[in-house]
Amino acid sequence: MTPLTPPPIDYAAVAPLLIVLGAACVSVLVEAFLPRHQRWPAQVALSVVAIVVAGVTLGVYAGDAPAQGVITLGSTMAVDMPTLFLWGTLLVLGFGSLLLIADRSVEPGGAFVASALERASAGAAPGSTTGPSGVDPEHVDRSYGAPGDAPTMQTEVFPFTLFALGGMMAFVAANDLLTMFVALEVLSLPLYLMCGLARRRRLLSQEAAVKYFLLGAFASAFFLYGVALLYGYAGSVRLSAIAEAAVGTDRSDALLFGGLALLIVGLLFKGSVGPFHTWTPDVYQGAPTPATAFMAACTKVAAFGAIARVLYVAFGSTRWEWRGVLWAVAIASMVIGAVLGLTQTDLKRMIAYSSIAHAGFLLLGTMAITQAGTSGTLFYLLAYGFTTIAVFGIISLVRTADGEATHLSQWAGLAKRSPLLAGVMTFLLLALAGIPLTSGFTAKFAVFSAALSDGMAPLVVVALVASAIAAFFYLRVVVLMYFSETPADGPTVSVPGAFTTVAITLGVVVTLLLGVAPTLVLDWAGAGGFTG
C-alpha cells in the first residue's frame, strides 16, 4: 500500500479563503461560549477584522502574483487573476453588507431575530406595531447590554455571513465541478437561513426562506446531475479535462451538452437569471434588507464568477454549439426583468426585477469568450454590487412605525423631507439605469463592447432597448420622490448609524468613481484570464 501523500498547498495563494473560513469557525465558537451580551461586539469585531485581514493578505499576494495564476490544493483551486479580482470584489462587497447587517440603530436592535418571542423581548410588545414603547430606544439600541439584558440581535447572522462569503470565494476559484458543488452548498445554506430572520413581517420572511431553500435545493440537484453527466462524458470533473475531452473526440455530444445544460441551470438559478428567476422577487422582498443586499451583491458575483469560469475554461472551445441557447436565456432575462419590473409596486421587488435584467446584461459579457468579455464581466460585477448595497442601505432607512416603507407610494414627496437621501437614491437609480458618469454606464459599455466585438450585435441592441424600458421604472421612483406630493402619513427617514452611513457612502463613492475614473479598476479586471 502506497502511503498517501498530501497534495502540496500554496498557502499564500489561498490564505484569504482560509482566513475567512477560519474566522467563520471561530465565530461559531464565539456564539457558543460568550455570554449573550458580549456576542454582538465580539462578532462584529471578529468579522470586520477577518475580512480586513483577508483583504490585506489578498492585496499583498496579488501584488506579485504570477500572471498565469496558480493551481493548488490538488488542482481543485485555481487562483488566477479573475479569481483574485473576484475575491477582492467579494471581500469589499461582503464588508459593505456586513456593515449593514451589523447596524443596530436603524432597526432598533438590528434587523435579525430568530423568533417572534425575541422580537418581543427586544422591546416591542407582541402585537404592537409601534416599536419599543416605554423603553428609551437609545438605551435599547446602543448599549451593548449589561448581563441579563434582553437580547437585541440574532448574532448567528455573523457566522452565517462569513461562511457564505467563504463559500462564495471557494465557488469562484473552484477548478473542478465537485469543489464547485461543495462551495455552492456552503454559500447557499447560510443564505437560506439569513432570509428567514427578519424582525418585521416575519411570515413574508419565512416564506422567502422556504421558497429559496426549496428552489435552491432543486437547482443544486440540477447542478449535481449535470456534474454526473459531465463526469460520464469526460471521465473527470476538472474543468480543463472537460475542455480537453470535448476537443477531437467521437464521443456522443449528448452527455456533454446535457451536462452543460443541467449545470448551467443550477448556476443561472444562483445568478437569478431569467427564466430561472422566480425566487428572486419573493426572496428579495421577504429577506431582511441587509441580507438582501448581501445576496444581491455577493451572490451575483459568485454565481457569475463561476459561470464565466465554467464557460471559459470548460466550454470555451464548444461555444458555437451552446451560445444560441444562452442567447435565448439572456434575451428572456433582460425582457422579463425590464417588463415585469414596470408592474412592481414594491421597491424591493422592483430592484429584484432590475437585478434580473442586469443578470441578462452580465450574461452577455460571460458569453463573449474573450479577454474583454471576462474583464467586462468582472468590472460589471463590482460596479453593480456597490450600487446595489447602497440602494438597499437607503431602502432600510425609509421607515414607518411598522418597519421599512417599501411600497412605492410611500416614497412620494420624499425629496422634500430628505433632499440628501432623495438625491443619493436618484444618483444610484441613474447608475442602475446606466446613465453616463456613473459606474453603471462604464460597466454596460465594457460588457456591451465585448459582446459586440464577439459577434453579438443583435443581443446588444436588445440589451439597450431593455435598458431603456428598465429606465422607466427607475425613473418612476425619481418622479415619485421629486414631483409628487407627500402623503399625510408618510414614512420617516431614519438617521443612519455609523455602520449604515459608511456602507452607503462607500457604495455611492465607488459608483461615482467607477463612472468618472474607472481606469485603475478596469486594469485590474483586465490583468489576466482564467487558467484551467
Nearer to other proteins, 230 or 422 (CB): 422
Nearer to other proteins, 98 or 338 (CB): 338
Q: How far apart are the first and last CA of the chain?
A: 31
Nearer to other proteins, 19 or 481 (CB): 481
Residue 489 near residue 29, CB atoms below 8 Å: no
Smallest separation (angstroms) from other proteins to the CB of 424: 14
Nearer to other proteins, 278 or 370 (CB): 370
E-strand ranges in 26-175 read: 70-72, 77-79
From residue 251, alpha-carbon distances to 248, 322, 370 in Å are: 9, 17, 27
- In the three-class reduction of DSSP (H, G, I as helix; E, B as strand; rest coil), residue 402 is classed as coil
Smallest separation (angstroms) from other proteins to the CB of 238: 32
From residue 113, alpha-carbon distances to 160, 212, 224, 479, 494 in Å are: 13, 18, 33, 35, 20
Nearer to other proteins, 396 or 442 (CB): 442
* Residues in contact with other proteins by the rule CB under 8 A: 375, 416, 430, 433-437, 441-442, 444-446, 448-449, 452-453, 457, 460-461, 464-465, 467-468, 471-472, 475, 479, 482-484, 517-519, 522-523, 526
**Which helix or strand (DSSP H or E) is residue 304 part of?**
helix 300-309
Residue 372 near residue 388, CB atoms below 8 Å: no
Rounded to 5°, angle at Cα 184 from 178 and 188: 155
Of 387, 401, 399, residue with least CA distance to 431: 387
From residue 300, alpha-carbon distances to 71, 106, 194, 294, 297 in Å are: 24, 26, 16, 9, 6
Would you state the cell numbers that stand for residue 293, as one nine-digit string?
Answer: 443586499
Q: Which residues of 121-130 are buried (b: 16+ CB within 10 A; e: fewer)?
A: ebbbeeeeee
Nearer to other proteins, 205 or 442 (CB): 442
Smallest separation (angstroms) from other proteins to the CB of 288: 33
Of 400, 398, 394, residue with least CA distance to 427: 394
Residue 154 near residue 197, CB atoms below 8 Å: yes
Would you state the cell numbers that stand for residue 504, as one nine-digit string?
Answer: 452607503
Nearer to other proteins, 53 or 437 (CB): 437
Would you state the cell numbers that stand for residue 56, as one nine-digit string?
Answer: 490585506
- In the three-class reduction of DSSP (H, G, I as helix; E, B as strand; rest coil), residue 78 is classed as strand
Smallest separation (angstroms) from other proteins to the CB of 469: 9
Q: How many helices (H) and strands (E) does the chain have?
A: 22, 5
Nearer to other proteins, 34 or 475 (CB): 475
Phi, psi of 313 (to 5 degrees): -80, -50
Nearer to other proteins, 37 or 417 (CB): 417
Of 234, 307, 322, residue with least CA distance to 264: 307
Nearer to other proteins, 189 or 437 (CB): 437
Phi, psi of 421 (to 5 degrees): -60, -45
Smallest separation (angstroms) from other proteins to the CB of 111: 33
What lies within 8 Å, CB to CB, of 518 at 6+ separation is 379, 439, 442
Smallest separation (angstroms) from other proteins to the CB of 55: 24
DSSP designation for 310 = I
Residues 166 and 170: their CA atoms lie apart, in Å, by: 6
Nearer to other proteins, 51 or 430 (CB): 430
Nearer to other proteins, 123 or 376 (CB): 376
Smallest separation (angstroms) from other proteins to the CB of 472: 6
Residue 409 near residue 436, CB atoms below 8 Å: no
Q: Which residue has the cell 454549439?
A: 321
